[in-house]
Amino acid sequence: MDTLVDSQSRSTERCLGAPRRGALFMIAIALITAGVMAGGCQSTGSSYRVSPESIADQFLPREREAEAHPDSVRLLTIMERDDQLAFEMEHSYQHLHRLWSSTFNVVSAGRTPTRPLTYATLWSQELSLASLEAHEGISTLTKEAAREQIAKEREAYRTTIQIDLYWFSRSERTLPPALLRSNAQLQMTPAGERYRPTEVRHLPLRDAVLSNGESVIYRRTILVFARVVDDRDILADANGLQLRILTPGTTRLEFAWSWPNEERESAMLR
């Protein structure tokens, strides 16, 4: 499994989008504009522009109770429009990120990150597919090229589990740590084996300003885990998972996600 190559297309360059909550909107060609976003990713317009601090500045649960399995695709529809494909979502791209984000529980104290800002985002299938518009501008491609990109993204999603950790600090004296593979563990629920990431990537430190005008610093760390272990899909029968982070300062954090037991849905082109 080429984790480095497959995950590259759906991790570092992924972008977030500005909130347009509660609205059904079409990712249309007319909205696609050139631009550069935080994180060094190419944007397809303001509908895909979001700052992690705007997510962190809102309430996030310590355990994200999702409405469906991460493999489900319920909020995204991929439609054929003449010679191209169009994405239709029930929420904005930013809101989709928020739906798969949770803050942390402190399991043991030490070097504790800023609460409640620090959070983690689990990449679901629909979030991964929606990222193709943010990064690739997939609605501008020919139908054949778009289908090829979707197939690659689905294959990457089927073979890896990606979680992005956003660690915030209010002081330059306590900068977010640069984690190693040994600092992270993933465990499925019901309780099972624990897994180390196959890849850890750190994006540059960034300055941000909260809604109250307070200045903060954050680092985005991308954690990639193998989804297929010993020929077994470790996520297929799970109804939740926990990410455990042990920092160099001996702080142990836990981020959690859960979802109901139900048949998973597949995204269909229609």
Q: Structure tokens of 73?
A: 């695709």
More confident residue, 80 or 110: 80
Structure confidence at residue 264 (pLDDT): 54
pLDDT at res. 50: 66
Q: What's the predicted TM-score (pTM) here?
A: 0.79
Residue 109 pLDDT? 58
Cα–Cα distance between 206 and 218 in angstroms, integer? 5
Answer for the pair 164, 120: CB distance below 8 angstroms, yes or no. Answer: yes
Whether the CB-CB separation of 3 and 152 falls below 8 Å is answered with no
Lowest mean pLDDT among 78-92, 103-117, 137-151, 226-240: 103-117
d(C-alpha 6, C-alpha 155), whole Å: 8
Q: For 215-224, how does the pLDDT look when each residue is reduced to its tens digit (9 = 90+)?
A: 999 999 999 9
Q: How are beta strands 252-258 and 63-65 bridged, if at all?
A: parallel
Most confident region among 33-47, 86-100, 120-134, 168-182 by mean pLDDT: 120-134
pLDDT of 230: 93
Could you read off the pLDDT of 167-217 as tens digits, one per residue?
Answer: 999 888 788 888 999 999 999 998 778 999 999 999 999 999 999 999 999
Residue 249: predicted pLDDT: 67
pLDDT (average), residues 28-55: 50
Q: Give the rounded percent of residues in the chain with a pLDDT score beyond 90.
A: 53
Largest CA distance in the chain: 57
Q: How far apart are the C-alpha atoms of 229 and 251, rounded to whole Å?
A: 28
State the pLDDT confidence band at 48, using cuts at 50, 70 and 90. low
Of 242 and 10, the one with more pLDDT? 242
Task: Give 239 or 39, the one with higher predicted confidence.
Answer: 239
Other CB atoms within a 10 A radius of the CB of residue 41 amount to 17
